[in-house]
Amino acid sequence: CIVLGRTCRRRPSRWMRSRSGWTSQSPTQNSPGALLWAPRAWIAGRWVESVLLHAGVDGHWLDIRTGTAPPPQATVLPGPVLPGLVDAHSHAFQRAFAGLAERRTAEHDDFWSWRDRMYGVALRITPAQLRTVAAQLYAELLCGGYTQVCEFHYLHHDESGQPYPDPLAMSRALADAAADSGIGLTLLPVLYERAGFAQPRLRPDQRRFATDVNAVLALRDGVRAWALPRVNAGVAIHSLRAAAPASIHELLRRLQGDSGPIHVHVAEQTAEVDDCLAATGARPIEWLAREGLLDARWQLVHATHAVPAEIDAVAASGAGVVLCPSTEANLGDGLADLPRWLAAGVPLTLGSDSNVCRHWSEELRWLDHGQRLLHRQRNVAAAPALHEGATAARLFERMLAGGAAAAGLPAWGLVPGARADLLVLDLQAPGLLGMPASHVLDSLVFATDAPALREVWVAGRRVVAGGRPIGAAAATGRFAADVAAGFAGTMVELWPA
């Protein structure tokens, strides 16, 4: 058999890889949990044949073996298997807004005008509507190949800006939506206390977002106290413009000894960079590094307008970067320096952000195609000198490797100890039909423009079958009838064509 690219002389039922956390347990007829067999699976950056995967009753991989025939008790999966990816940055409520901001009546439209319109949705959505929107979104993310989502969650208070009787009402709506769909969830309550570097208070249309350090930590601790399956929590800072330096330092002081992730929007817009320079004398990432704040817990969302010295500082700190190509394109943010981020070895992940796109394969295509247009070259992300000449494989592996830290999980992927998540490809899908096995991932990213997943499993349980979320019909009906139509009417009323 082949184990992570090494020849294994042990009998297939007995191999292990202890140095990297592989267990020595072997699936047997009497073992609990799910026993799955795939004709091929993506393990350690390549396709391997005849893979037996054993998930324990706790929903984590106990054992993964290659080169073995399916035992009678195994569920035979109907296609090649990929690990799921982490969606490291989502604003679920913005799914109700997707497609409703693609017109303009003024001479100019940019991120800031889009933001003003987005606030119209944020001011109206209720906890029940948020659950419906998020349940629809999370089902779509599962069908797009994400099995964990990190919610950058700043929508906490009621429509008047006052706390709900249960301060966790909006957080609970998201957790319930995750349970409805079956996706894993990392909740990230956001520190959000001012409108800008020179605006010490929030704007009236930001009233639902108001938090301080105490509130953020109370929200995080409340989520953790639920002890829900597949739900964990870290914290977030909206941005340097939205949180005072003293508050950021106080939050970090109180996070000493806590290993949870810390996310922050940073350097998304050139105006933000200019304002930060004027207020602090430093660029946003430069300021974080100068203050000695960055470490491996940090995830810098967007980092679009980072300069080489900042990229080097992030690499030295161990922090990760979350790229959101479809949203960054939709909002006109700009293009990140992908070649330099890759060369620096910075951990990378993807985010669906505003949720105009819910498929990681399309995000990867946007990511490399943007660089092709910028540099007028092809396969910009590939690295033949590193024996990584396949663009899709290199990008997928980098996003896979960054997932655990972004979501605050101890392990991720098709490895023992990680949660038992996987994707089953549909080889009859347009773009994959007739492809040689060696080029299936390339085709999925660069030649497939239709759904290509037959099944999705999370924690050893199938949540998508036949390309459709299991039990999603009711949520879809509520979304169409109660939410999408209502918000579409609001948008047309506020911004007529």
C-alpha–C-alpha distance, residues 485 and 96, integer Å = 9
> Quick one: 78 exposed, middle or buried, by C-beta within 10 A (0-12, 13-18, 19+)?
middle
Residues paired with residue 148 on neighbouring β-strands, in sequence order:
86, 184
List helix spans (H) across 265-347: 270-280, 284-290, 308-317, 325-330, 338-344
Q: What is the pTM of this model?
A: 0.92
Alpha carbons within 13 angstroms on the beta-carbon side of residue 298 total: 27
Phi (first) and psi of residue 36, to 5 degrees = -120, 145
User: What is each CA distance from 415 to 136, 150, 349, 465, in whole angstroms?
Assistant: 29, 21, 18, 23
> Quick one: 488 exposed, middle or buried, by C-beta within 10 A (0-12, 13-18, 19+)?
middle
**Residue 35 Cα to chain centre, angstroms:** 27
List helix spans (H) across 193-337: 213-226, 245-254, 270-280, 284-290, 308-317, 325-330
For the record, the structure tokens of 449 come out as: 């423009």
Q: Specify the amino acid at residue 462.
A: R
Residue labelled with tokens 């990929």: 82
Phi (first) and psi of residue 140, to 5 degrees = -65, -40
C-alpha–C-alpha distance, residues 46 and 58, integer Å = 27
pLDDT of residue 491: 60
Q: Are strands 235-237 and 231-233 parallel, antiparallel or unpaired?
A: unpaired
In the set 54, 265, 302, 359, the catalytic residue is 302
Active site residue 305: no
Angle at alpha carbon of residue 52, lines to 46 and 58, rounded to 5°: 105
C-alpha–C-alpha distance, residues 312 and 430, integer Å = 41
Q: Specify the amino acid at residue 67.
A: G
> Quick one: 242 exposed, middle or buried, by C-beta within 10 A (0-12, 13-18, 19+)?
buried
Helix, coil or strand: residue 185? strand
Quick check: 421 and 61 in contact, CB under 8 A?
no
| 396: nearest Cα among 43, 17, 19 | 43
pLDDT (tens place) for every residue of the chain, 497 residues total: 333 333 333 333 333 333 333 333 343 334 468 999 999 999 999 999 999 999 999 999 999 999 999 999 999 999 999 999 999 999 999 999 898 888 888 889 899 898 988 998 899 999 999 999 999 999 999 999 999 999 999 999 999 999 999 999 999 999 999 999 999 999 999 999 999 999 999 999 999 999 999 999 999 999 999 999 999 999 999 999 999 999 999 999 999 999 999 999 999 999 999 999 999 999 999 999 999 999 999 999 999 999 999 999 999 999 999 999 999 999 999 999 999 999 999 999 999 999 999 999 999 999 999 999 999 999 999 999 999 999 999 999 999 999 999 999 999 999 999 999 999 999 999 999 999 999 999 999 999 988 899 999 999 999 999 999 997 666 777 887 777 667 776 665 555 55
Q: Quickly count helices (H) and strands (E) in the chain.
A: 15, 20
Per-residue pLDDT tens over the stretch 398-409: 999 999 999 999
pLDDT of residue 493: 55
> Quick one: 338 exposed, middle or buried, by C-beta within 10 A (0-12, 13-18, 19+)?
buried
Quick check: 367 and 325 in contact, CB under 8 A?
yes
383-390: long-range pairs with CB below 8 Å, 24+: 383/342, 390/441, 390/442
C-alpha–C-alpha distance, residues 91 and 110, integer Å = 19
213-226 vs 169-181: helix axis angle to the nearest 10? 40
Residue labelled with tokens 């090494």: 6
Phi (first) and psi of residue 490, to 5 degrees = -60, -45
Helix, coil or strand: residue 41? strand
**Sign of the alpha-carbon torsion through 133, 139, 143, 148:** positive
Per-residue pLDDT tens over the stretch 447-485: 998 889 999 999 999 999 999 999 766 677 788 777 766
In the set 87, 353, 368, 421, the catalytic residue is 353
